[in-house]
Structure formats: C-alpha cells, structure tokens
Amino acid sequence: MITFPRAKINFGLRIIRKRQDGYHDIETIFYPVGLCDALEFVIAPEEAVEDNLTVTGIDIKTKNDKNLVIRVLKEFRKKHKLPFLNIHLHKAIPSGAGLGGGSSDAACFLKTIRRCFNLTLSDAALRSMALELGSDCPFFLDPVPSFARGRGEQLTPVDAILEGFHIVLLNPGIHISTREAYLNCRPGNPEYSLKELTGRYPGEWKDLVKNDFEDFAFRLYPKLGEIKRSLYREGAVYASMSGSGSTIYGLFETRPELGKKLKDMSIYEGML
C-alpha cells in the first residue's frame, strides 16, 4: 500500500489568544500544495517481532521511535490487533519548515491503516486521534482549502481561490521550533477576519494577510525576510512565510524565472 502525503501552506496565521490548556487559538487558511512525501507499507514476515521503519530522502533528524508514523501504530494497537509492518517513508517535505510534513504523514497513515485493515473506527474518532498527534493533523485527513480556527482543528472548507496561480516554495534549510515560535508570539485579535480577506485578489493581500510568526522568525533569521522581499522583486503578487517557518512562498500569475540564489533554495514549483 502506497500513499503520497501532501504538504500545506498557510495564507495568513493570526495568533488570537493563549488557552488555559496551554495551546493557542489561531486563525489561518490551510491550502494543500503539490509537494509530497511517499509512504509505503507491507505486512512483515511472520517471524517479525517489531515494526520496521526505513526513512529515505531528506534527513529529518528524527529517531524512528519518535516518528509520528510509529506513534500512529502505537495508538492503533491500544485497541486493535495489527500485524507487524515494514514501512518505507521517503521524505521530500522538510521538517521544521511550516509545511506540515510530519502531520501529513501521520494523517495519511491513519486513513490508510483504517481502510487497509477494515477497522471499525468512526470519522470523529479518527479526527480525535489526529488531533492528539498534531494541531494541523486533522486538516490532512481531507486536505482541501480550509479556514481553520481553534488549535487549527475547526475547519471550514473555502473555495479554491488560488486555482491557476503558480507557487514557488523556498526553503533555506533553517529549522524553526514551533514551540519556540509560540513562546515568542504576541497574541491579539485581528482587525479583519482572514476568511473575509481571502475573498480579495491576492495582489491586495500584502499589507492585510499577515503571519504573526514572521516578526519573531525574521528577527532571529534576517535571511528569511530578505527571501520574502526577493520574491516580491521577482514579481510575486503575494509572498509570505508558511506556518511557523522557515519556508517562504511566493504566488505568481505566470511561472517566474528565478535568479540562481532563489532557484537553489526552491523545493517546489507548480500550479495551485
């Protein structure tokens, strides 16, 4: 069984307030993009005594027992008897990049395990399991453009507003801790709802659709701010950091001819 977990980007990300449970209420638009990992598994031979996970591609520097894919199996095995599996995860989505790669892997695996082994598990129970693995994980169970509130799990589908635009994802190889980003953010109520703003043409978003994590990330890594400015110089109608970073993306009406410095950081280019 093979699946292709997709990456996402955020259009705007407002930190509304810190909650009593330690999480934050946010407002954002999740939007899937074509950058994918590849996740494959087969049932291990009868003599196997444990699951085996092989990770290739980008080095995500995560021990196998901490990988969300293995955590998914551990959660399922609390209530379901499953055979041991040989799993191959090929990473094209970098970690600590604001693209949700780990959450996407976990969500894809959740759906595939349920379907493959015909487990009696409701959609609501699956969403609950996903939320325990990551605040953005429920989105990846059905990755359609969505307005997200709460921790990111309160999802309302929105129109595919960017269909026909060309997107470029640039990643400079900087890993940003989501936890550290939240510790350094300044919550506040936005003047406008992102859901309302995204009804406008993206060329109007520059000073309105904001990612609250940028202030912290750009202070810590000035290179990120320069990448964003470079994308505007290259003709982007809108550019932003995704999630807590460090990926910076640009939206273009036509495919751009990027200069070498930006081209070297490109991890994905394609139509939305």
Give the pLDDT means over successive 10-residue stretches in the chain (272 positions). Answer: 96 93 94 97 94 93 89 92 96 94 96 94 94 95 95 92 93 90 88 82 91 95 97 97 95 93 95 92
Which pLDDT score is estimated for 149?
96
CATH number of the CATH domain containing 13: 3.30.230.10
Residues 129 and 170 in one domain: no
Residues 130 and 196 in one domain: no
Distance CA 188, CA 166 (A): 32
Q: How many domains, the chain?
A: 2
pLDDT at residue number 96: 85
C-alpha–C-alpha distance, residues 250 and 241, integer Å: 9
Sign of the dihedral defined by the CA atoms of residues 123, 93, 187, 16, in that order:
negative
| Angstrom distance (rounded) from CA 251 to CA 164 | 10
Q: Is 8 a catalytic residue?
A: yes
d(CA 126, CA 109): 11
Report pTM. Answer: 0.93
* Residue 122 shares a structural domain with residue 190: no
Same domain? 201 vs 106:
no
Q: Which neighbouring-strand residues pair with 146?
A: 30, 157
What does the pLDDT read at residue 239?
98
Domain final residue pick, 156, 186, 204: 156
Same domain, 11 and 121: yes
Choose among 86, 95, 102: nearest CA to 58.
Answer: 95
Asked whether residue 68 falls in the same domain as residue 121, the answer is yes
Statement to judge: residues 171 and 128 lie in one domain? no
Among candidate residues 51, 105, 136, 212, the one labeled active-site is: 136
Do residues 145 and 168 both lie within one domain? no
Domain containing 41: what range?
Answer: 2-156
64 and 164 in a single domain? The answer is no
Query: Of 156, 190, 212, which marks where a domain is finished?
Result: 156
Same domain, 105 and 233: no
Q: What is the pLDDT of residues 51-68, one digit of tens each?
A: 999 999 998 888 888 899
Q: What is the pLDDT of residue 189?
A: 85
The HSE-up count of residue 129 (CA atoms within 13 Å, CB side) is 26
Dig out the tokens for 110 from the structure: 């959740």
Whichever domain contains 197, its CATH number is 3.30.70.890
Phi, psi for 8 (deg, rounded to 5): -130, 160
Closest CA to 193 of 17, 12, 19: 12
Q: Give the burial string for 19-53 (b: 16+ CB within 10 Å, else e).
A: eeeeebbbbbbbbbbebbbbbebeebeeeeeebeb
Q: Does residue 135 share a domain with residue 10?
A: yes
Residue-level pLDDT at 162: 87
Whether residue 121 sits in one domain with residue 199: no
From 93, 124, 156, the end of a domain falls on 156
